[in-house]
Amino acid sequence: METTTQIKAEGFANVLRAGVWKPRTRPGSFEGVGEPALAWMQEAHKETGLPVAVEVATPQHIELALKYGVNILWIGARTTVNPFNVQELADALKGVDVPVLVKNPVNPDLQLWIGALERLNQAGIKKLGAIHRGFSNAQETKYRNSPMWHIAVELKTMFPQLPIIGDPSHMAGKRQYLFELAQRALDLNYDGLIIESHRDPDKAWSDAAQQLTPKALGEMLEALSVRSKEYGTDYQSELEVVRAKIDNLDRELLENLAARMSLVERLAEYKRDNNVSAYQVDRFREILKTRAGWGKSMNLFPDLVDELFKLIHMESIRKQTEVMNQPKVSA
């Protein structure tokens, strides 16, 4: 209650969220208080006037949350990953008029995310939104969960009316990274942020390292820059000029890529005629090393260059394999 009243006093919050049931990786970790905490949320709602939100993972959770007047439900990342679980929740929500937010699945699978939203929509839930909380890391990074912004951007592109809420707390894992991730979400025109707060973060029973005091959270939000989604007339003409240049450059990029693939076909024909394997490990390593150096000299983000040439190389191998499996044409 002290945390919620302090949040209310800061004046920035639109919704209070709390984990009543917390799915944990291993037993023995704090898994939430359960039903008694719903009464506490009722009290927080009455005290602050703010709507409250809770994560639900079973039909029983939904029944109890609605019984206690919870205003917004969300489905966690560990639940989103399982279509059977999502369908059970969708069936339990039929006929219920309540906003439901869906976190991205733990692994980077856009179709699973979309599928969960579709199951809820087919059950009659019209007030839907998505929460982008990042994805499990395949390799060590400074973040707890990799943002993989392009996946959320693709979701927004496919469903432009779908609200997307950024969850920098679960992406960061550490409070020192919250600002940069929250700002990036705002730069991408997300519709809101869900950020964890605690009156004494170091004593929190879970995820202590990623939480802020209400005061520190208020200060961080004050420092963020909120971007306008629309452009004024003064900027429109210049934007159109720049966008036209970008369009031309994109076309040139594709023309160069097509020319590269044409050379790849010639290379494949030579390999086929000389009985040489399509995949040359040393050549692939050389490409990644040299392109990384070129990209660095051009001030390009290393991960962009690395991922780009991995994709190009895989397409080159596919194209070479296709050509090499074709019969040689006799003169």
pTM for the structure as a whole: 0.74
The pLDDT score that the predictor gives to residue 232 is 55
Is the pLDDT higher at 329 or at 63? 63
The pLDDT score that the predictor gives to residue 229 is 64
Count of positions (residues) in the chain:
331
Q: How confident is the model at residue 231 (pLDDT cuts 50, 70, 90)?
A: low
User: Integer distance in angstroms from the first to the last C-alpha of the chain?
Assistant: 85
In order of start, what are the domains of the chain with their CATH numbers? 2-223 (3.20.20.70), 233-324 (1.20.59.10)
The pLDDT score that the predictor gives to residue 235 is 55
pLDDT at 39 over 60: yes
Average pLDDT of the segment spanning 247-263: 87
Are 283 and 320 in contact, with CB atoms under 8 Å apart? no
pLDDT at 234 over 70: no
Q: How confident is the model at residue 302 (pLDDT cuts 50, 70, 90)?
A: confident
The pLDDT score that the predictor gives to residue 56 is 97
pLDDT at 233 over 70: no
pLDDT at 112 over 90: yes
pLDDT at 203 over 70: yes
Are 195 and 169 in contact, with CB atoms under 8 Å apart? yes
Return d(Cα 27, Cα 23) in angstroms, integer.
9
The pLDDT score that the predictor gives to residue 322 is 87
Average pLDDT of the segment spanning 146-168: 92
pLDDT at 330 over 70: no
pLDDT digits (tens, 9 = 90+) for 306-329: 889 889 988 888 888 888 888 776
Joined together, the tokens standing for residue 266 give 């010639």
Return d(Cα 209, Cα 207) in angstroms, integer.
6
The pLDDT score that the predictor gives to residue 43 is 96
Are 173 and 209 in contact, with CB atoms under 8 Å apart? yes
Are 104 and 132 in contact, with CB atoms under 8 Å apart? yes
Dihedral sign for Cα 176, 141, 300, 188, please: negative
pLDDT at 251 over 80: yes
Joined together, the tokens standing for residue 57 give 């993972």
Average pLDDT of the segment spanning 225-254: 74
Average pLDDT of the segment spanning 230-245: 67
Is the pLDDT higher at 73 or at 209? 73
